[in-house]
Chains A and B, each alone.
Chain A
Amino acid sequence: MTHSGNIVSRRLLLGAALAAPAIIAARAQSKPGITDDLVKAAQKDGTLSYYHNSDIGPTGLWTDAFAKRFGLQMKNMRLPSYPLFDRFLNESRVGRHLADLVQITDPTLLAYANRLGFIADYTPAGGAMIPGDLKQEGIWYGLFTDPMGIGYNSKTVTPEEEKLIQTGGWNALADPRWKGRFGTATPASGGSSYAFCYMFLVTLRAQYGKPWFSKLAANAPDIYASKAPLFERLAAGEYTLMDQGSAGTLSDYYLKGAPIRWSFPAPTPIALTSQSITKNAPHPAAARLFQEWSTTAEGQAEWLKYSIAGATRPDVVDPRHAGKLDWFKEPWFHEPTEFYTAYLKDEAFADPKKPIIAEWNEIFNYQSGKKG
């Protein structure tokens, strides 16, 4: 496989210049999808059952805005990605159809559910604005992106070390100076961790692969089995830097005042929040309406009011970016230049055996119940 072909280089979010006018334009443009008939039918459905994986608080505000706009009632259920997907799958298999929409940060799962016949084919009007690598037309649509970079605690690095992190690319992680100062989570701890490790162990194996991870392992990292303490201890200064740092969580700690900074070496893996309508949705019209709305500029811009993420529509831009607010004003902050999205459509990525977990465990001498 040729790696360069799998790396999508995009000018990111740089529709910034268009920002405000574009949103208005986009609303007019997406109107055809949200027809009066659809709205009426959705209102007849009355409620919408939403299985989601995104952060519970912002998602609630976002779906409330939708519900208020169209006079519907929302029923949200949030779970971590794999338990959520497993639940949806099992409910579908026994014919207990409760979910109208499934939103999850791993679209390969949605593609898998589609192969099993549990996903409805529906093309929202706004889908056309979403780049091709961030959707599978008619099946799933990526809504928001969360890039993963190197997170670090600014109190525990020297200026010289910070420069290394900001400019040294992914190889900065392999520097022996981080011995005893590095923290990570196993690829089994979640879908985004798995995607992150997948890039280095599979897609970019020739360039990074085992030798690179071995250097990380040689730094005797603190290995966390779950994400919560990983971020919390970085903020507390227990260790200095982490890989697979989700921008969403890092920036949340930044906003809480933690001395946390980050960089996005290229290529930058992203977690993609993607959404599908279920095949046997109990409220099919409401489901379509939501799929329409969440792919409009209006729907995506609404999300950015509550949460930290990138929209998949190039015409929707984080207002903080435009206003140079929060971390966008920080001199250390740099936009990611190149996204790694190839795994989103990689059949091998969805291999339920997840062979790289075993390989990773071996490199890090990490024993768990996962024996590949």
Chain B
Amino acid sequence: MTRALLPWLLIPLLTVLILVPVGFMFLGAFMSGALADPEAHLTLSKVAAVYTTLPFLRTLGSTLVIAFLVAIAATLGGVTMAWLTSRTDLPARPIMETCIIAPLFLSPFVGAIAWLVLGSPRAGLLNVIARAWFGTTGAVVNVATPSGIVLIMALYYLPYAYLTVAAALRNMDPSMEEAACVNGSGILGTALKVTLPVVRPALISAFFFIFVLACGTFAIPAVLDRASQVRFLAVDVFQASATYPIDYGTAAAIGTLLFWISVMGIAAYRFASRAARRFVTVTARGYRIRLVRLRWLRWPMAGLVGVYVVLSIVLPYLALVWSAFARAGGTIFAPVWTLANARGVLTSAEVAGATVNTLEVGLITPTLCVGLGLLIAYAVRRLRVPASNAIDYITMFSIAVPGIVFGTGVFWTYVLTPAYGTIAVLVLAFVAAYVPFAYRISDTALLQIDRALEEASLLCGAGNGRTLLRITLPLARPALLSAWIMVFIFAVREISAAVLLTSSDNVVLSVLSFNYLDFGDVPKAAVVGLLQTALLAAGVIAGRYVFRVKLSSQV
């Protein structure tokens, strides 16, 4: 019964949530103007320009190169951090883990500005300090270079790799490592020869995942690239759809190009994560985790993690605190502190409203998203409903579309419905945008639950619904909670779609900070960034210590 009916529920739902907005992108790519513009007509010119002319193809090339470098760097960094915090006796591991994912709390736009404050060649705080203390000349650090952009994007995406790989490492049978140790391999030898190959599939998954996400990032290159050294398709999408003249057709055409790249990435990712499943076996016994003793390397390794924490969290947040609380006239050596910006932001009516809206969106979105993700995973993986493959692919589509283009599609989908202009439309857009994450995590969680546990329930006379509720849900709970936290972070932080769907009634903090930035008001945007971080940190800390959520989970 359920098995036959579920596709009839899921396919229309996913069609409205994901396929229609994506469809609007494809339609938009073939239109000369906005969809509702009576003068707009079908044209091949935008698609032809994007797919065949040199400027776009050059940009495509450099986008792929940058995304590739970012994915490599972030994955290598992430796997190192994951190994250190989940397999070794590194000091202060629990705190380290929270620190490692803290970069996720900042929206990329605010994060990029923080880096500009730190590392612009002349007035960047790091350069100013280096000149004063060490008498250097010129720029010690310059983030506004191609390598700076790649490094900062890598720092920013490292937590994604970390979360994926850490879960795989934790699920690995330690006896494999033990066997290698017994056979005389050193710590590093064991890590490289045994641990690494075992988590290689998770690593490949993380790589493709970051590659796809990096292709769609506009904020970091847009803020940091000041001399047009880095060409990035997502920046073109942003400029075509948010600055003058608005050229949605070109934005959509680039969106379709990114879509194909991402779909290839997803296919590779699916392949790699399928391979990953062969290795991940969780038995009821549960492993006694034996930690690798780093011995003399313990503190140097702690230092390595420390360097990452300083680079990706301490410095950017100090820069934000500096922007938010230091009076613009002071220098780093003689700062004049002020609460004026914070007071201005925190006492304003718009911030109060936006905070409430952010919390509403931030709580409803992950709840619906994880519910839907689990339902889809259950239908596809367990019930193997008809059209499972289609459902599986459609669910992944939204990850393949740049946020701003997807947001435009969502706009056209809902503009004539009562949801438009309300919190609901944001929730719908975010659920659609983030359901791939919730789905993937749920799917992996299901794979790790012995099917017999659910079959036993069926044979005891419980139907699929009761089985899902009484058996699957409680067993998948740890993974689902970590998915919840992840989507919570995304929903609080998301900008692109939120801006396109904002109204007087559903302003969220990220849109507010976007509007402050539009007026060049970096201090206020910094205050909002810190406020968002406080909300997210409170949520994550509550999750970790109240609900005992493990943050890392296999995607």
Contacts and interface: CB of A to CB of B under 8 A. Distances in A.
Interface of A: 49-50, 55-57, 60, 64, 75-83, 86-87, 89-91, 93-96, 98, 187-191, 194, 220, 222-233, 235-239, 246, 248-249, 252-253, 256-260, 352-354, 357, 365-371
Nearest to A228: B517
Nearest to B218: A225
5 contacts: A90-B36, A236-B120, A256-B340, A367-B55, A371-B53
Interface of B: 34-38, 49, 53, 55-56, 59, 113, 116-117, 120-124, 144, 222-223, 225-228, 231, 233, 235-237, 239-240, 242-248, 250, 254, 323, 327-330, 336, 338, 340-341, 344, 348-350, 411, 415-416, 420-421, 499-500, 502-505, 507, 512, 515-523, 525
Contacts of B520: 227-228, 230-232, 246, 249, 252-253
Given A228-B517, A238-B124, A369 B250 contact: yes
B415 A257 contact: no
A369 B239 contact: yes
A33 B452 CA distance: 78
A348 B116 CA distance: 37
Given A82-B244, A190-B244, A55 B228 contact: no
Contacts of B55: 367, 371
Contacts of B340: 256
Q: Tell me the dominant secondary structure on chain A's binding face.
A: mixed
Given A78-B515, A369-B250, A369-B254, A223 B231 contact: no
Contacts of A49: 504
Given A93-B34, A194-B244, 13 more contacts: A75-B505, A77-B502, A94-B415, A188-B239, A225-B223, A226-B517, A228-B519, A367-B228, A369-B56, A369-B236, A369-B239, A369-B254, A371-B53
Contacts of A78: 515
Given A93-B34, A98-B421, A237-B122, A75 B239 contact: no
A226 B122 CA distance: 19
Nearest to A361: B228
Contacts of A83: 242, 246, 499-500
Contacts of B411: 90
B123 A237 contact: yes
B415 A258 contact: no
A33 to B, nearest CB: 26
Contacts of B329: 256-259
A231 B338 CA distance: 19
A27 B277 CA distance: 76
A354 to B, nearest CB: 5
Contacts of B330: 257
B254 to A, nearest CB: 7
Contacts of A57: 344, 348, 350
Given A230-B520, A371-B55, A189 B502 contact: no
A269 B328 CA distance: 27
A256 B328 contact: yes
A143 B97 CA distance: 53
Contact of A98 (B49, B222, B231, B503): B503
A366 B236 CA distance: 13
B239 A238 contact: no
A238 B349 contact: no
Given A56-B350, A60-B348, A223-B227, A256 B244 contact: no
Contacts of A228: 113, 517-522, 525
Contacts of B236: 368-369
B120 A238 contact: yes
Contacts of A227: 517-520
Contacts of B341: 256
Contacts of A220: 227
B381 to A, nearest CB: 39
A256 B326 CA distance: 9
B228 A223 contact: yes
A256 B523 contact: yes
B502 A79 contact: yes
B494 to A, nearest CB: 16
Given A257-B328, A257-B329, A371-B49, A249 B245 contact: no
Contacts of A371: 49, 53, 55
B36 A235 contact: no
Given A369-B239, A371-B49, A236 B123 contact: yes
B499 A77 contact: no
B231 A367 contact: yes
B34 A190 contact: no
A233 B120 contact: yes
B416 A96 contact: yes
A370 B350 contact: no
Contacts of A258: 328-329
A86 to B, nearest CB: 5
A368 B228 contact: yes
B49 to A, nearest CB: 7
Find the residue from A236, A238, A369 having the highest chain B CB count within 10 A.
A369
Given A223-B227, A249-B519, A352-B245, A238 B122 contact: yes
Nearest to A74: B504
A204 B427 CA distance: 49
Tell which of B120, B250, B323 has the most Cβ of chain A within 10 Å. B120
Contact of A96 (B37, B244, B344, B415): B415
Nearest to B254: A369
A231 B323 CA distance: 13
Contacts of B502: 77, 79
A257 B116 CA distance: 20
B38 A93 contact: yes
A229 B523 CA distance: 11
A20 to B, nearest CB: 28
A49 B503 CA distance: 10
A233 B350 CA distance: 27
B424 to A, nearest CB: 15
A94 to B, nearest CB: 5
Nearest to A249: B520
Nearest to A231: B520
Contacts of B328: 235, 253, 256-260
B59 to A, nearest CB: 7
Cβ-closest 5 pairs across A and B = A369-B236, A258-B328, A93-B36, A257-B329, A75-B504
Contact of A369 (B235, B421, B521): B235
B97 to A, nearest CB: 32
B225 A94 contact: no
Contacts of B239: 188, 225, 368-370
Contacts of B123: 233, 236-238
Specify which of A80, A236, A237 lies most central, judged by the most chain B CB atoms within 10 Å of its CB: A236
A96 B420 contact: yes
A252 B519 CA distance: 10
Contacts of B38: 93
Nearest to B234: A369
Contact of A229 (B113, B243, B338, B503): B113
A242 to B, nearest CB: 11
A370 B240 CA distance: 7
A220 B227 CA distance: 9
